[in-house]
Amino acid sequence: MEKREAFGAYLCDQETIQILEPVALEQGWLPERIHKGGIANAVRSLSVMRSPEFLVVDLSQSDDPLADIGALADVCEPGTLVLAVGSRNDVQLYRDLLASGIHDYLLKPINGDDLRATIAMALSARAEPDVPASQPLTKKSVAVIGVRGGVGASGLASGLAWILADDFSIDVGLLDLDLNFGTNALVFDLEPGRGLSDALENPNRVDSLFIERAMLKVSDHLSVLGSEAPLGDPMAPDSAALMHLQESLGEHFDLVLIDLPRTMASSYPGLLSTISDVVLVSELSLAATRDTIRMMGLLKNHAPQARVHLVANKVPPLAQQEVSQKDFEASVEHGIDLLIPADPKSMLAASKQGKPLPQALPSSKPVQMMRNLAQTLAGDEAQAESKSFWSKLIRKAP
């Protein structure tokens, strides 16, 4: 029987072809497998030849995308991963396409980084088996993931870490896995050093003594580990090294809080397998609605054990919201657990002080919302160790 190709694509425009070509080369795929003609050409071609293992199809010229995807399914072999691209910005269409069995739908014009992350997510989902229900969890581990850049996930991660450590006296290890552009050390006015880079390059060295030396101490109960890897030498850590570091931190701290970039979550979904809680940070916009749906799918497959806390961050006044809370929740099929209002003045003031927002302005409205989430994450320890902002003031009073 004719051998299946690893990859094939049928696209309508040269711009999308030029974006896909270098990404395909990174995967070892032949750019010659990228054809013009969109999904109609894909159906015609694959009716007389074997379908590739990974297929990209363009729906831009389709009058009935769902019917065309159905026709494509009739000529594709079982197990074919299908990524669709198109120009219709419609949440319901996106949901219907996912329900039809495709892996994902990207809106044109597509971004190279988004395309790269989506392909990595698809290949990882196929390569990695589901996590057994009996797999043990770290004693407490929280991942903070932003569905898009700019939603404020890193600021929320550093704020939660500070509150959990300072208000509840929990020993917190904050791990920033944005290896090139991490900001958590910067928020606390610290230099990240080489601790994280060494841990990932030499995982056999990671033990309790290494953790003690590599972590940057912020306070008695909070330490941070981050990196500013050179841009000319991008890090591509081994999955086993990341998992070993995560496990080691879990043995050393009462709670490990991971600032986990969405691209890392999709490229290394195994990191999610021992997470107890995921704080999924979004915003009330159409693009964020789409990406929240995508991340929910990833979590369902790779972190079924985790509690998901959906946060809408930087929420503007009602009249300025691109998507209403009601429409957002209906689209993602999950209620928003926390609405954090936009407060650029407070954020600027904290940045000028070189402190996280809860330390600089503990009574601000965003911090009040963060504190509610932190208490939920802390669970029983919050009840035993709680020392709220107001109780501190009372104790300090003469």
Residue 193 pLDDT: 82
Domain boundaries, the chain: 7-127, 141-396
The answer to whether the beta carbons of residues 18 and 45 sit under 8 Å apart is no
Question: In terms of pLDDT, which residue wins out, 191 or 382?
Answer: 191
Question: In terms of pLDDT, which residue wins out, 206 or 117?
Answer: 206
Instruction: Indicate the pLDDT class of residue 135, thresholds 50, 70 and 90.
Output: very low
- When mean pLDDT is compared across 42-46, 129-133, 191-195, the lowest value belongs to 129-133
* pLDDT 10s digits, 357-371: 999 888 888 898 899
Average pLDDT over residues 202-225: 91
- State the DSSP string of 245-274: HHHHHHHH-SEEEEE--HHHHHH-GGGGGG
- The rounded distance, in Å, linking the Cα atoms of 12 and 298 is 28
CATH topology identical between 7-127 and 141-396 = yes
- Look up the pTM and report it: 0.67
- The rounded distance, in Å, linking the Cα atoms of 141 and 256 is 5
> Has residue 390 got a pLDDT over 80?
no
* pLDDT 10s digits, 328-350: 999 999 999 999 999 989 889 88
Average pLDDT over residues 387-398: 41
* pLDDT 10s digits, 266-280: 888 888 988 999 999
Rounded to whole angstroms, the maximal C-alpha distance in the chain is: 86
Residue 137 pLDDT: 42
End-to-end distance of the chain based on CA atoms, in angstroms?
86
Average pLDDT over residues 119-147: 67
> Has residue 134 got a pLDDT over 70?
no
> Has residue 17 got a pLDDT over 50?
yes
Residue 140 pLDDT: 85
> Has residue 128 got a pLDDT over 90?
no
- The rounded distance, in Å, linking the Cα atoms of 112 and 310 is 27
Cα-Cα-Cα-Cα dihedral sign, residues 146, 195, 223, 306:
positive
User: What percentage of the chain reaches a pLDDT higher than 70?
Assistant: 90
The domain made up of 141-396 has a fold known as: Rossmann fold (3.40.50)
* pLDDT 10s digits, 220-243: 999 999 988 877 766 778 888 898
* pLDDT 10s digits, 77-110: 877 899 999 999 887 888 788 878 888 889 899 9
Supply the mean pLDDT for the chain. 86
Average pLDDT over residues 63-82: 90
Q: Domain 7-127 classified CATH 3.40.50.300?
A: no
Tell me how far CA of residue 299 lies from CA of 192, 265, 277, 376, 387, in angstroms. 29, 9, 11, 20, 33
What is the distance of C-alpha 210 from the center of its chain? 27
Residue 2 pLDDT: 64
